[in-house]
Amino acid sequence: MSKASGKIVVITGCTRGLGHALTGYFVHDGAIVIGCGRTALTADPAPPQSFSIVDVSNDAHVSAWAKRALAEHGAPDLLINNAAVIAPNAPLWEVGAEAFRRVMDVNVTGTANVIRHFVPAMIARGKGVIVNFSSGWGRSTSPEVAPYCASKWAIEGLTQALAQELPPGLAAIALNPGIIDTEMLRSCFGSEAGHYPSPAQWVKAAGPFLLGLAAKDNGRALTVPGGS
């Protein structure tokens, strides 16, 4: 029996990039995946898998999605806050207010919204792992990506504080996935992104790594093996 068999996994941002790769991995490995994204999946998987169009930055949308998911499936074993956006490369003073706000709303407020509506059920159950996707840019910085850096540094701090608030049996982990050839990376690196692993290659290490996380990892800032 696989590690994922029968586990309930919630993933945000599941329609593209790393979230899409993880969704495929967990479904194939026998998990029940409850996913959301800003757009629909190209093909709807059969039940008990569940996928919804949700803007995680909208608390009311997340609340309604979580109520449906929890009523159907119960508390997740693994909650992955993956959904994120990035602003076009530019010096900070050239980033418009709306572009800056969108990065913070999705990457930080969206993560908090999902935690707000799923974690109480995990606490009541007495177990579960919350993984908030950070970045190398949540632990270092580069020019022209200041809003994204700010959002991921916020995720690191938010996760550390959450870890101190959780009761025994649960874990909150900030995870740097590494440098992966995604649409987001190409918006920053251009064709140079092609020098890095694809999501399909990355998930071969990331999937088992995520399934191996447990309460003992609470508060740790980790990186997927092989990531940068």
Phi-psi region of 212 (alpha: psi -120 to 50; beta: other; left: phi over 0): alpha
pLDDT, tens digit, 9 for 90 and up, residues 128-147: 999 999 999 999 999 999 99
pLDDT value at residue 42:
67
79 in Cβ contact with 118 (< 8 Å):
yes
Per-residue pLDDT of the chain (228 residues; tens, 9 = 90+): 578 889 999 999 999 999 999 999 999 999 999 999 998 776 666 778 899 999 999 999 999 999 999 999 999 999 999 999 999 999 999 999 999 999 999 999 999 999 999 999 999 999 999 999 999 999 999 999 999 999 999 999 999 999 999 999 999 999 999 999 888 888 888 898 888 999 999 999 999 999 999 999 999 999 999 866
pLDDT value at residue 2:
76
pLDDT value at residue 87:
97
Reduced DSSP (H G I as helix, E B as strand, rest coil) percent helix, strand, coil of the chain, to 5 = 50, 15, 35
Beta-bridge partners for 172: 130
| Predicted model pTM | 0.95
Tokens of 138: 């949540």
Residues with a catalytic annotation lie at: 148
Domains and CATH numbers, the chain: 8-223 (3.40.50.720)
Beta-bridge partners for 12: 36
4 in Cβ contact with 31 (< 8 Å):
yes
Task: Give the single-character DSSP code of 108.
Answer: I
pLDDT value at residue 40:
79
12 contacts: CB under 8 Å, gap ≥ 6? 19, 35, 36, 37, 54, 56, 80, 81, 82, 83, 110, 114
SS3 226: coil
Phi-psi region of 216 (alpha: psi -120 to 50; beta: other; left: phi over 0): alpha
pLDDT value at residue 78:
98
Task: Give the single-character DSSP code of 83.
Answer: -
